[in-house]
């Protein structure tokens, strides 16, 4: 008979009953796994003592799979079956992958990215699962124990689909996800617990494929994210592209193969890494078309190229400070995260912006994994290092809302709301006798539906028939600690209910996320005008609909001349509502309301007389 070990709720496990959990930084370029042992968070190396696992997977013809450093050799010889930077394709659609000109054999699919490989059709989720499985095995071998779970980090700007794709990859890898944790927050945890830091900190996270800046307040063990802004189309890869463009600018590239471009990208990365510690880097390589490159690349030249991209990250920093309602002088320290922050030009320009040297005490490649390990240790029920108690208050990066009449977006959860979060808002019906309502969930910063991203649709049916505006439908949004959304709707009087867990088949593209924020800020005045126009048009339509209904039943209360005047004013209002002159619509609505005041009074008198017919004063 199987025996179950039973422990008291919230009881701290004994040392020999410690539950093994890990933190995983699933990176665009490199990945790491960490754990807490003997009250110290540490990176788990492989059997050769290497901490970093390159995020590369190569599928071989013989059915084997190479993962990590051994897979990188296939970049030049078999680029279609060797996957690097696959994190950039998580949650993307086929059309988005085509636009990125990825060097893979894509399967035409309406929803998600899929690749033709030596081993069949695979998705970015399955490729990422190989990396995660390798890290899981490394951890289990080192700890000599099965894992109860893992905290996996994601960019702060990953949307619902990208987060869900990460969880699916972990499930395929045999991992129980304790929580998805935003990378900047993980870095703050590592610094906050190691240094006992308090105050406001900026986390500058420049990885291989994404950039995030988060502003956090650390106070008595509480990590509160005040604001987060990112450019998810900017990372170390883009600095490498600058080097490639510079190397080939005087050569005819029309005959370069995909393998040539991948090889040049590898050379560029090596040049960038060498220039971190050396004043010059030398380039000697040959391409498939016979071209031989022999170049001397000075750091000063690279920094002139790179300055524009670093300045671009600082624009996001300015926006994050503005969102948090603070200045650079209010920031106590700047935590550097990601291998790309090793570049001297990055540290120099960030230091100049904040007027203080960036914090680099913890290896920027390892700090995210270490923070994730500390959170995993806590969620597994183990005592925190130093018996410190702490709480994470992360935020949602983009606003969430739903469509209302007139094609408008009603924001229910604004961006930078602390998660987990639940918000509810009441809505009502637009037409008399309406028994169903379509709920359209949206994400973005603009005011109009067609300018935001659709996440999901569902219907609430069984609403009791009532006059327009009488029903009360409460729509509730809930974002969990992983940043995943669920929405429910309930009619208050009858209790009819419908809900949905938002899991779109693919998510926002990187540039769409950044564009949503920039568009929302840059078009604020235009959006406000458009919203005012839509609201005025909606008011006109509601008035016209009410009048049409009233005339169907009570037109006899008007003389032929009065009826003609009302109908003429209705036609004028309808014509005005079809235009885009807000003031003209407002005036037309006002004139129509004034023209029908007497009609409304007569309808009220008739209604009262009908209600009192056959009744005495005592009955009333």
Read off φ and ψ for residue 185, nearest 5 degrees: -65, -40
Cβ-in-10-Å burial (0-12, 13-18, 19+) of 246 comes to: middle
**List 46, 168, 205, 365, catalytic entry:** 205
183 is catalytic: yes
Closest among 117, 116, 139, 113 to 125, alpha carbons compared: 113
Q: Distance between CA atoms of 573 and 581, rounded to whole angstroms?
A: 12
Read off φ and ψ for residue 198, nearest 5 degrees: -135, 155
42 is catalytic: no
25 is catalytic: yes
**List 25, 160, 238, 510, catalytic entry:** 25
Q: Are 427 and 440 in contact (CB under 8 A)?
A: no
Encoded tokens for 562: 């009065």
Q: Distance between CA atoms of 181 and 150, rounded to whole angstroms?
A: 10
Place of tokens 């894992």: 147
Q: Distance between CA atoms of 363 and 370, rounded to whole angstroms?
A: 10
Rounded to a whole number, what is the largest CA-CA distance in the chain?
A: 108
Q: Distance between CA atoms of 317 and 294, rounded to whole angstroms?
A: 38
**List 96, 160, 168, 183, catalytic entry:** 183
Contacts of 604 (CB under 8 A, 6+ apart): none
Q: Residue 407's CB: how many other CB atoms inside 10 A?
A: 16
Read off φ and ψ for residue 391, nearest 5 degrees: -135, 135
Contacts of 58 (CB under 8 A, 6+ apart): 65, 66, 67, 70, 71, 72, 73, 74, 78, 81, 82, 83
**List 87, 114, 378, 411, catalytic entry:** 87
205 is catalytic: yes
**Which residues are marked as active site?**
25, 87, 183, 205
């Amino acid at each position: 008979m199987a025996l179950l070990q039973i422990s008291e709720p919230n009881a701290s496990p004994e040392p020999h009953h410690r539950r093994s959990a890990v933190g995983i930084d699933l990176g665009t370029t490199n990945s790491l796994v960490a754990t807490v042992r003997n009250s110290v968070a540490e990176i788990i190396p492989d059997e050769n003592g290497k901490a970093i696992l390159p995020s590369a997977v190569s599928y071989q013809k013989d059915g084997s799979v190479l993962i990590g450093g051994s897979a990188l050799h296939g970049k030049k010889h078999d680029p279609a079956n060797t996957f690097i930077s696959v994190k950039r394709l998580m949650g993307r659609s086929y059309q988005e992958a085509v636009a990125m000109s990825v060097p893979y054999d894509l399967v035409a699919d309406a929803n998600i990215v899929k690749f033709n490989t030596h081993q069949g059709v695979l998705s970015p989720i399955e490729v990422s699962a190989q990396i995660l499985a390798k890290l899981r095995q490394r951890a289990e071998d080192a700890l000599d124990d099965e894992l109860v779970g893992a905290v996996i980090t994601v960019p702060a700007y990953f949307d619902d689909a990208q987060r869900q794709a990460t969880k699916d990859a972990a499930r395929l890898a045999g991992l129980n996800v304790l929580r998805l944790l935003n990378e900047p927050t993980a870095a703050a945890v590592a610094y906050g617990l190691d240094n006992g830091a308090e105050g406001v900190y900026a986390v500058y996270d420049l990885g291989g494929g994404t950039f995030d800046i988060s502003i956090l307040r650390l106070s008595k063990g509480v990590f509160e994210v005040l604001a987060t802004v990112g450019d998810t189309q900017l990372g170390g890869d883009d600095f490498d592209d600058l080097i490639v463009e510079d190397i080939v600018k005087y050569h005819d590239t029309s005959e370069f193969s995909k393998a040539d471009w991948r090889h040049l990208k590898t050379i560029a990365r090596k040049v960038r890494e060498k220039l971190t510690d050396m004043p010059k880097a030398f380039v000697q390589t040959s391409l498939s078309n016979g071209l031989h490159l022999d170049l001397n690349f000075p750091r000063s030249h690279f920094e002139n190229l790179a300055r524009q991209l670093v300045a671009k990250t600082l624009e996001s920093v300015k926006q994050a400070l503005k969102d948090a309602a603070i200045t650079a002088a209010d920031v106590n320290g700047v935590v550097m995260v990601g291998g790309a922050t090793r570049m001297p030009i990055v540290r120099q320009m960030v230091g100049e912006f904040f007027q203080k040297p960036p914090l680099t005490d913890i290896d920027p490649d390892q700090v995210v994994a270490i923070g994730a390990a500390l959170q995993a240790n806590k969620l597994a029920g183990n005592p925190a290092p130093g018996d410190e108690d702490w709480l994470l208050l992360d935020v949602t990066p983009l606003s969430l809302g739903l469509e209302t009449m007139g094609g408008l977006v009603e924001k229910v959860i604004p961006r930078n709301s602390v998660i987990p979060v639940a918000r509810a808002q009441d809505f009502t019906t637009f037409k008399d006798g309406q028994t169903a309502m379509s709920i359209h969930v949206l994400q973005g910063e603009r005011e109009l539906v067609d300018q935001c991203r659709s996440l999901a649709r569902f219907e609430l049916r069984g609403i009791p028939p009532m006059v327009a505006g009488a029903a009360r439908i409460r729509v509730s949004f809930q974002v969990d600690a992983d940043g995943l959304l669920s929405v429910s709707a309930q009619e208050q009087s009858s209790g009819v209910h419908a809900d949905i867990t938002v899991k779109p088949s693919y998510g926002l593209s990187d540039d769409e996320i950044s564009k949503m924020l920039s568009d929302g800020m840059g078009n604020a005045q235009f959006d406000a005008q458009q919203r005012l126009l839509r609201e005025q048009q909606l008011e006109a339509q509601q008035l016209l609909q009410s009048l049409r209904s009233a005339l169907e039943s009570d037109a006899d209360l008007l003389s032929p001349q009065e009826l003609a005047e009302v109908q003429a004013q209705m036609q004028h209002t309808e014509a005005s509502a079809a235009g885009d002159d807000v003031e003209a619509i407002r005036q037309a609505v006002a004139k129509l309301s004034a023209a029908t005041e007497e009609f409304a009074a007569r309808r009220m008198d008739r209604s009262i007389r009908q209600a009192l017919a056959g009744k005495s004063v005592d009955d009333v």
